[in-house]
């Protein structure tokens, strides 16, 4: 039975809440205890206590207390709300939604709970539920514009564009006063509505709306771009061309504008002269413009290309633009261009050799003129489509001779070593390049990466440490993790994997997985924030981007590494606990030796790191106080498995691999490497249907992949033995589907 509080205790209860809000958890707890002393069965107080405990990081205690509170006081919406909050902070959103719904049933008028529920629903992409919640919220307060916009968003995300537009129009009609020109929310809402109309495919109406309503919108560029697009879609070429020219006058470096303009100009695709004239006009108008000079190289051919490329290269070399090669290598898919460019560079070289020494053409700046051409040729012969490493070395050495202190030249030299397979030499050369400019973060990262490729994790971390925040507790690695430096974590993990330390490798892969989780959760704040700020178009983009988040190649690479590592762990179980010992059974002493060495090195690195941290703490006495509070924070989220020992000791590597694999298959189904890894996992787990699914996908992607027939054979073999034990329906599916798989 719920107890009622005396006036004094009711006041005390209010202070509990206030203390919680002010994050004065100790005081809050004290007050809660005081109430509970007299009323040990007061559900609301128990719930508040649980909430405070949760905030202090005592999650389990909090949950059991909140449960007790619920059993005592089932009818209290506070208890249910707290229960929902606990689930929410612990990322169990489905359960949180259930709890909120219950709380709402008990207290249907609570804006607070309704709002929390709505945010959770959109976070979980429960669009029908979100529509419902938003509708209730709109009904409660129709005078707030953001409630109308929010309902429109809900319909929009659910795919009901017509309804979304209706909602926005209904609101607009109900507004009597003309909004101010500076009303940002209004401006964005108009453009949002316009984007919905366009999404429905009705460009006629979209254009009409744009011209009638959005003239005064604050995002002028968006209005101009949309107008050009709609005009193009509607085939009004003359107006479209005008619109694109207006855009190019604003920004002559945007390739899409050129593309749009050329698209509506009715120029034959093979009329290179006419096409080039379009670009030349802007090149003449804007002498410093790059796009107008670079883009024609994409479509020009023969002598036209030759002349244009020569002019472009000369300009770039004279200026000494270091990215010249990177900017031109896209042309290499065309054989003629691939062969012409180095010839032109050599010609330039012949004309300018000696320049830098005799007439001081480059004013001592070796990256201009001759140096730039040599650098270009070095990169040319180092590039995979035009590789000739001995020639590459020749040019780079010449360039270095010209200027022994140039970072770029030495960097290219290191890359040539890498392509020669001389990884140790490459790392060394890159570190030398780094030493030439110790304030250049790019070359610093590059050097660290090459050290990782050479399996020098400790050295790499030290290198990275030159640019991380020195005062971070836990050293550079913690800072790199906090800064979500994924490339480093991936390379570090792969290096540890090569060195046989599966624990640390897995640790890194899991860290990356968690970073993507964080990015997923980051959107949480924006469901209400974006509405409040009125930035709806950006918000819709965000939601759609989040839905595709794990397509990212960074995720794919780390996840594939993890899956493959788990597979090898399954095939070759470790005797030892953490993957460092073991494998003696295979008589693989050399590998074991290597692992031992790795372990030792790791210990040393940790020791050094610890010492450095201690030293830093001692050196800076001012930090004493801050340090303490930071330690408190550290305590809460202390990593109980910093070296991944527990990860590597898993009894079910295939099960663990699933966590990574599912996202791979879901978000990158078109990548055959993922499908192949998927097959390997599923066939080991005797999930024949799923293995067959991966195989069929691989087959559709690339039927000539060497792995495909091999996997087909293995699946048939495995099925021969297993057919008898399969459910008849599964058997039927496999028999009919496998027949369509060729080979073996």
Partner 1 sequence: MAEDRQPADIVEGATSGDVEDEVQPTAKSAEDRKAAAALSKLDSRGDDEGAAREVDQEAVKNAMSALGGGADKKDIKVVKVDAADVKLLVEELELPKPKATDLLKAHDGDAVKAMRAYLQPDV
Nearer to partner 1, 211 or 521 (CB): 521
Tokens of 738: 């496998």
CB 715 within 8 A of CB 676: no
Q: Which of 42, 145, 209, 507 binds partner 1 (CB under 8 A)?
A: 145
Q: Which of 730, 742, 743, 744 binds partner 1 (CB under 8 A)?
A: 730
Nearer to partner 1, 323 or 736 (CB): 736
The reply to whether 111 sits near partner 1 by the rule CB under 8 A is yes
**How far, in Å, CA of 337 to CA of 305, rounded?**
8
Nearer to partner 1, 147 or 366 (CB): 147
Q: Which of 2, 179, 322, 342 binds partner 1 (CB under 8 A)?
A: 179
Tokens of 44: 């609301």
Q: How far is the CB of 176 from partner 1 (least distance, A)?
A: 5
The reply to whether 63 sits near partner 1 by the rule CB under 8 A is no
Distance of CA 395 to the CA centre of its chain: 38
User: 620 CB contacts (<8 Å, ≥6 apart)?
Assistant: 471
Tokens of 681: 């996992």
CB 118 within 8 A of CB 133: yes
The reply to whether 575 sits near partner 1 by the rule CB under 8 A is no
The reply to whether 112 sits near partner 1 by the rule CB under 8 A is yes
Residues 185-204 interacting with partner 1 (rule: CB under 8 A): 185
Q: How far is the CB of 699 from partner 1 (least distance, A)?
A: 8
Q: Which of 32, 46, 48, 719 binds partner 1 (CB under 8 A)?
A: 48
Nearer to partner 1, 168 or 243 (CB): 168
3-state secondary structure of 536: helix
Q: How far is the CB of 556 from partner 1 (least distance, A)?
A: 18
User: Which residue in 478, 500, 481 sits closest to 490, CA to CA?
Assistant: 481
Q: Which of 8, 33, 38, 140 binds partner 1 (CB under 8 A)?
A: 140
Residues 596-615 interacting with partner 1 (rule: CB under 8 A): none
Tokens of 28: 């809050």
Residues 287-346 interacting with partner 1 (rule: CB under 8 A): none
CB 502 within 8 A of CB 569: yes
Residues 673-692: x/- map of binding to partner 1 (CB under 8 A)? --------------x-xx-x
Nearer to partner 1, 179 or 576 (CB): 179
Category of 437 on φ-ψ map: left (φ > 0), alpha (ψ -120 to 50) or beta = beta
Compute the half-sphere exposure of residue 60: CA atoms within 13 Å on the CB side of its CA.
Answer: 0
3-state secondary structure of 373: helix
Q: Which of 131, 313, 402, 478 binds partner 1 (CB under 8 A)?
A: 131
CB 429 within 8 A of CB 412: no
Tokens of 153: 């968003």
**How far, in Å, CA of 420 to CA of 422, rounded?**
5
Residues 642-671 interacting with partner 1 (rule: CB under 8 A): 658, 669
Radius of gyration of the chain, Cα coordinates, nearest whole angstrom = 32
Q: Which of 31, 32, 46, 51 binds partner 1 (CB under 8 A)?
A: 51
The reply to whether 101 sits near partner 1 by the rule CB under 8 A is no
Q: Which of 141, 405, 469, 636 binds partner 1 (CB under 8 A)?
A: 141
Q: Which of 336, 442, 529, 545 binds partner 1 (CB under 8 A)?
A: 529
The reply to whether 208 sits near partner 1 by the rule CB under 8 A is no
**How far, in Å, CA of 25 to CA of 33, rounded?**
12
The reply to whether 85 sits near partner 1 by the rule CB under 8 A is yes
User: 175 CB contacts (<8 Å, ≥6 apart)?
Assistant: none
Residues 149-168 interacting with partner 1 (rule: CB under 8 A): 167
The reply to whether 727 sits near partner 1 by the rule CB under 8 A is yes
CB 129 within 8 A of CB 157: no
Select from 215-223, 394-402, 623-631, 730-738 the region that touches partner 1 (CB under 8 A). Answer: 730-738
Q: How far is the CB of 494 from partner 1 (least distance, A)?
A: 28
Q: Which of 87, 100, 102, 171 binds partner 1 (CB under 8 A)?
A: 171
Q: How far is the CB of 240 from partner 1 (least distance, A)?
A: 34
The reply to whether 420 sits near partner 1 by the rule CB under 8 A is no
Q: Which of 8, 18, 125, 215 binds partner 1 (CB under 8 A)?
A: 18
CB 304 within 8 A of CB 272: yes
Nearer to partner 1, 54 or 643 (CB): 54
Q: How far is the CB of 733 from partner 1 (least distance, A)?
A: 5
Select from 12-20, 250-258, 405-413, 566-574 the region that touches partner 1 (CB under 8 A). Answer: 12-20
Nearer to partner 1, 89 or 286 (CB): 89
**How far, in Å, CA of 506 to CA of 493, rounded?**
7
Sign of CA dihedral 43, 48, 51, 52: negative
Residues 469-528 interacting with partner 1 (rule: CB under 8 A): 521, 524-525, 528
User: Which residue in 556, 558, 550, 579 sits closest to 675, CA to CA?
Assistant: 556
Give the Cβ contact number of residue 380 at 10 Å: 23
Q: How far is the CB of 173 from partner 1 (least distance, A)?
A: 7
**How far, in Å, CA of 325 to CA of 377, rounded?**
9
Nearer to partner 1, 155 or 325 (CB): 155
Category of 686 on φ-ψ map: left (φ > 0), alpha (ψ -120 to 50) or beta = left
Q: Which of 4, 182, 548, 736 binds partner 1 (CB under 8 A)?
A: 736
Q: Which of 58, 101, 693, 714 binds partner 1 (CB under 8 A)?
A: 693
Exposure string (b/e) for 130-140, b if CB count within 10 Å is 16 or more? Answer: bbebbbbbbee
Q: Which of 6, 170, 514, 713 binds partner 1 (CB under 8 A)?
A: 170
Q: How far is the CB of 78 from partner 1 (least distance, A)?
A: 6
Q: Which of 36, 106, 124, 144 binds partner 1 (CB under 8 A)?
A: 144
The reply to whether 718 sits near partner 1 by the rule CB under 8 A is no
Q: Which of 343, 700, 722, 723 binds partner 1 (CB under 8 A)?
A: 700
CB 505 within 8 A of CB 565: yes
CB 153 within 8 A of CB 526: no
Sign of CA dihedral 592, 566, 682, 553: negative
Nearer to partner 1, 237 or 687 (CB): 687
CB 218 within 8 A of CB 186: no
User: 690 CB contacts (<8 Å, ≥6 apart)?
Assistant: 678, 682
The reply to whether 541 sits near partner 1 by the rule CB under 8 A is no
Axis-axis angle for helices 457-465, 486-498 (nearest 10): 160
Q: How far is the CB of 676 from partner 1 (least distance, A)?
A: 13
Select from 128-136, 254-262, 351-359, 393-401 the region that touches partner 1 (CB under 8 A). Answer: 128-136
Integer CA distances (angstroms), 391 to 394, 409, 580, in order: 5, 14, 43
Q: Which of 89, 340, 484, 606 binds partner 1 (CB under 8 A)?
A: 89
Q: What 8-state DSSP symbol labels residue 728?
A: H
Number of shown-chain residues binding partner 1 (CB under 8 A): 79
The reply to whether 696 sits near partner 1 by the rule CB under 8 A is yes
Tokens of 160: 């009901």
Q: Which of 196, 676, 699, 712 binds partner 1 (CB under 8 A)?
A: 699
Q: How far is the CB of 128 from partner 1 (least distance, A)?
A: 6
**How far, in Å, CA of 7 to CA of 5, rounded?**
6
């Amino acid at each position: 039975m719920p107890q009622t509080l005396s006036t004094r205790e009711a006041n005390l209860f209010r202070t509990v809440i206030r203390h919680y809000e002010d994050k004065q958890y100790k005081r809050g707890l004290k007050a809660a205890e005081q109430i509970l002393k007299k009323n040990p069965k007061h559900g609301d107080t128990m719930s508040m206590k649980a909430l405070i405990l949760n905030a202090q990081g005592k999650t389990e205690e909090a949950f059991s207390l909140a449960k007790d509170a619920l059993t005592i006081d089932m009818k209290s919406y506070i208890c249910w709300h707290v229960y929902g909050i606990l689930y929410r902070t612990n990322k169990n959103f489905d359960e949180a939604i259930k709890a909120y719904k219950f709380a709402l049933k008990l207290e249907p008028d609570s804006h607070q709970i309704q709002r929390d529920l709505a945010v959770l629903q959109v976070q979980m992409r429960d669009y029908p539920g979100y529509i419902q919640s938003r509708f209730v919220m709109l009904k409660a307060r129709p005078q707030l514009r953001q409630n109308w916009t929010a309902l429109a968003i809900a319909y929009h995300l659910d795919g009901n564009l017509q309804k979304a537009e209706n909602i926005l129009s209904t609101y607009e009609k109900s507004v009597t006063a003309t909004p101010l020109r500076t009303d940002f929310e209004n401006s964005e809402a108009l453009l949002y509505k316009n984007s919905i109309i366009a999404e429905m495919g009705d460009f006629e109406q979209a254009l009409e709306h744009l011209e009638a309503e959005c003239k005064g919108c604050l995002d002028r560029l968006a209005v101009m771009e949309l107008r050009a697009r709609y005009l193009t879609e509607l085939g009004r070429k003359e107006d479209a061309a005008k619109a694109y020219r207006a855009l190019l006058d604003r920004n002559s470096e945007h390739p899409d504008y050129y593309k749009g303009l050329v698209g509506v100009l009715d120029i034959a695709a093979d009329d290179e002269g006419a096409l080039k004239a379009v670009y030349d006009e802007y090149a003449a108008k804007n002498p410093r413009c790059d796009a107008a000079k670079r883009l024609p190289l994409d479509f020009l051919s023969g002598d036209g290309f030759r002349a244009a490329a020569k002019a472009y290269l000369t300009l770039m070399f004279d200026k000494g633009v270091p990215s010249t090669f990177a900017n031109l290598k896209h042309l290499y898919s065309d054989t003629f261009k691939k062969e012409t460019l180095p010839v032109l560079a050599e010609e330039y070289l012949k004309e300018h050799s000696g320049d830098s020494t005799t007439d001081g053409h480059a004013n001592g700046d070796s990256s201009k003129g001759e140096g730039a051409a040599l650098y270009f040729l070095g990169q040319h012969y180092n590039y995979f489509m035009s590789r000739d490493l001995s020639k590459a070395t020749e040019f780079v050495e010449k360039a270095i001779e010209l200027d022994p202190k140039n970072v770029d030249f030495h960097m290219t030299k290191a890359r040539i070593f890498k392509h020669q397979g001389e990884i140790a030499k490459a790392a060394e050369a890159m570190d030398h390049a780094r030493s030439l400019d110790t304030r250049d973060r790019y070359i610093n990262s590059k050097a660290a990466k090459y050290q990782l490729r050479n399996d020098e994790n400790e050295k790499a971390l030290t290198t990275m440490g030159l640019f991380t925040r020195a005062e971070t507790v836990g050293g550079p690695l913690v800072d790199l993790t906090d800064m979500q430096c994924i490339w480093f974590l991936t390379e570090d993990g792969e290096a540890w994997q090569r060195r046989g330390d599966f624990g640390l490798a897995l640790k890194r892969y899991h860290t990356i997985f968690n970073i993507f989780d964080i990015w997923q959760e980051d959107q949480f704040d924006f469901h209400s924030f974006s509405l409040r700020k009125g930035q709806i178009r950006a918000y819709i983009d965000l939601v759609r981007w989040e839905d595709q988040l794990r397509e990212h190649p960074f995720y794919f690479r780390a996840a594939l590494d993890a899956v493959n590592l788990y597979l090898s762990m399954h095939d070759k179980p470790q005797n030892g606990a953490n993957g460092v010992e073991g494998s003696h059974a295979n008589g693989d002493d050399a590998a074991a030796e290597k692992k031992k060495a790795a372990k030792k090195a790791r210990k040393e690195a940790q020791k050094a790191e610890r010492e450095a941290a201690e030293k830093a703490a001692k050196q800076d006495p001012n930090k004493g106080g801050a340090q303490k509070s930071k330690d408190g924070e550290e305590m809460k989220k202390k990593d109980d498995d910093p070296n991944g020992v527990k990860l590597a000791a898993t009894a079910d590597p295939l099960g663990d691999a699933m966590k990574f694999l599912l996202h791979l298959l879901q978000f990158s189904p078109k990548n055959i490497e993922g499908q192949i890894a998927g097959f390997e996992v599923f066939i080991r787990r005797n999930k024949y249907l799923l293995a067959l699914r991966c195989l069929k996908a691989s087959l559709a992607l690339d039927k000539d992949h060497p792995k495909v027939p091999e996997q087909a054979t293995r699946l048939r073999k495995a099925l021969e033995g297993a057919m008898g034990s399969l459910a008849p329906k599964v058997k039927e599916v496999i028999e009919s589907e496998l027949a369509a798989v060729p080979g073996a």
